[in-house]
């Protein structure tokens, strides 16, 4: 059994596995070389030769306990025929949303559009680098994917929040469609070899309590239950949410990934499931002594709880790989 599965299934306190969000990405010079030659991000995510290579790059450097498939949560809107582009220095830009056309998308068509992702997972699974390690597949939560599809850009830039939330009928229809196709995307990833699914709800923190109930808790719970029914653990990351305790109660994930804005001591008291993450990625840009102190803080707080070491958000592009190596070795040596 892999270290992460020991932590999740056996609640093993001696094992403190580590992987980091966006570990296959821009902080690695070998990834930047590939990216320079592949300017279209969506095409890169569908490249059956390069995706396995990128996914495995961090495992060639560091003793992570999991690979996470190189992909993006916006591959689902792409699969539903919405135009998705990534512009340098701007981020994602999505085309107009035609709900009538999306409602007519066939399952076979969606699976064919995203089939290179599943083939890449199969390819990674064959590699010896993932022996006794997990292969993480992922989706965006319905709310976050819906937000991108309707806002057509990252909320960091501009939010047309009330404009589309006021159209309750459209929002409910789109949530229902997304649930259906997110389940398909989960199953195809699991069938291809993913041993864990992580659900990223990047913009959960934007909602009030009533909106959370309808747009986050209820649809996420259905996806959590579905993933568990496939026999694989599910990790939820509701970034920016005010009350992780309520989120855990309402959705019941196997693992809850916390962001760096919450008090880990409070989380340790409030949360009963396995905890993952928390370290602010900015500590990887600081001196080793500062990062070590902060990393040890999390390891001590969760010493008596099953805990997967990770960050409270994705690793930053300007991070020195040597700092990642130092962090991995620090976590691996802790408690020995």
What is the reported pLDDT for 324? Answer: 98
CATH of domain 3-333: 3.20.20.210
User: Rounded CA gap, 291 and 294, in Å?
Assistant: 5
Sign of CA pseudo-dihedral 56, 57, 60, 62: negative
Of 287, 290, 296, 285, which Cα lies nearest the Cα of 334?
296
| Three-state secondary structure call for residue 23 | coil
Please state, in angstroms and rounded to a whole number, the distance separating the CA atoms of residues 316 and 285: 8
User: Tell me, what's the pLDDT at 116?
Assistant: 98
What is this structure's pTM?
Answer: 0.96
Residue 258: its H or E element? strand 255-258
Using CB atoms within 10 A of its CB, is residue 89 exposed (0-12), middle (13-18) or buried (19+)? exposed
Contact at 8 Å (CB) between 61 and 321? yes
CB 278 within 8 A of CB 312: yes
What are 60's two structure tokens? 């060639």
Give per-residue pLDDT as tens, 11-56.
999 999 999 999 999 999 999 999 999 999 999 999 999 999 999 9
Q: Which of 284, 286, 265, 277 is nearest to 311 (CA)?
A: 277
Which pLDDT score, from 0 to 100, does residue 155 have?
66
Task: Provide the pLDDT for residue 71.
Answer: 98
Which pLDDT does position 169 carry in this prediction?
Answer: 85
3-class SS at 250? helix
pLDDT number for residue 91: 82
Residue 199 has a pLDDT of: 98
- What does the DSSP 8-state code read for residue 115? H
pLDDT in tens, 138-179: 999 999 999 999 888 776 655 666 666 778 888 999 999 999
Which residues are 277's β-sheet partners?
A: 258
Pairing of strands 84-87, 91-94: antiparallel
Per-residue pLDDT tens listing for the chain (336 residues) = 999 999 999 999 999 999 999 999 999 999 999 999 999 999 999 999 999 999 999 999 999 999 999 999 999 999 999 999 988 777 899 999 999 999 999 999 999 999 999 999 999 999 999 999 999 999 999 999 999 998 887 766 556 666 667 788 889 999 999 999 999 999 999 999 999 999 999 999 888 888 899 999 999 999 999 999 999 999 999 999 999 999 999 999 999 999 999 999 999 999 999 999 999 999 999 999 999 999 999 999 999 999 999 999 999 999 999 999 999 999 999 966
Return the pLDDT at 123. Answer: 98
Q: Are 168 and 51 in contact (CB under 8 A)?
A: no
* Alpha carbon distance, N-terminus to C-terminus of the chain: 20
């Amino acid at each position: 059994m892999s270290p992460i599965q020991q932590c999740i299934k056996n609640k093993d306190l001696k094992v403190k596995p580590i992987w980091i969000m966006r570990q296959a990405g821009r902080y690695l010079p070998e990834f930047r070389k590939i990216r320079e030659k592949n300017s279209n991000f969506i095409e890169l995510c569908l490249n059956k030769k390069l995706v396995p290579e990128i996914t495995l790059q961090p495992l060639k450097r560091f003793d992570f306990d999991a690979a996470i498939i190189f992909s993006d949560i916006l591959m689902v809107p792409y699969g539903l025929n919405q135009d998705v582009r990534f512009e340098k220095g701007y981020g994602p830009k999505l085309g107009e949303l035609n709900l009538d056309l999306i409602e007519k998308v066939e399952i076979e068509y969606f699976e064919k559009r995203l089939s290179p992702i599943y083939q890449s997972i199969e390819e990674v699974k064959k590699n010896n680098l993932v022996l006794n390690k997990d292969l993480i597949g992922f989706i965006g939560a319905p709310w976050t994917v819906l937000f991108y599809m309707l806002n057509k850009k990252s909320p960091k830039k501009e939010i047309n929040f009330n404009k589309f939330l006021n159209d309750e009928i459209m929002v409910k229809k789109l949530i229902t469609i997304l649930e259906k196709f997110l389940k398909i995307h989960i199953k195809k990833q699991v069938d291809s070899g993913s041993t864990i699914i992580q659900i990223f709800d990047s913009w959960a923190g934007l909602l009030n309590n009533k909106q959370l109930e309808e747009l986050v808790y209820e649809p996420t719970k259905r996806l959590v239950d579905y993933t568990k029914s496939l026999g694989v653990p599910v990790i939820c990351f509701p970034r920016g949410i005010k009350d992780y305790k309520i989120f855990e109660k309402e959705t019941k994930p196997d693992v809850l990934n916390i962001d760096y804005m919450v008090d880990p001591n409070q989380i340790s008291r409030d949360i009963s499931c396995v905890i993952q993450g928390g370290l602010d990625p900015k500590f990887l840009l600081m001196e080793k002594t500062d990062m070590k102190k902060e990393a040890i803080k999390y390891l001590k707080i969760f010493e008596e709880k099953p805990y997967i070491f990770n960050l409270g958000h994705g690793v930053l592009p300007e991070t020195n790989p040597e700092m990642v190596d130092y962090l991995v070795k620090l976590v691996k040596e802790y408690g020995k």
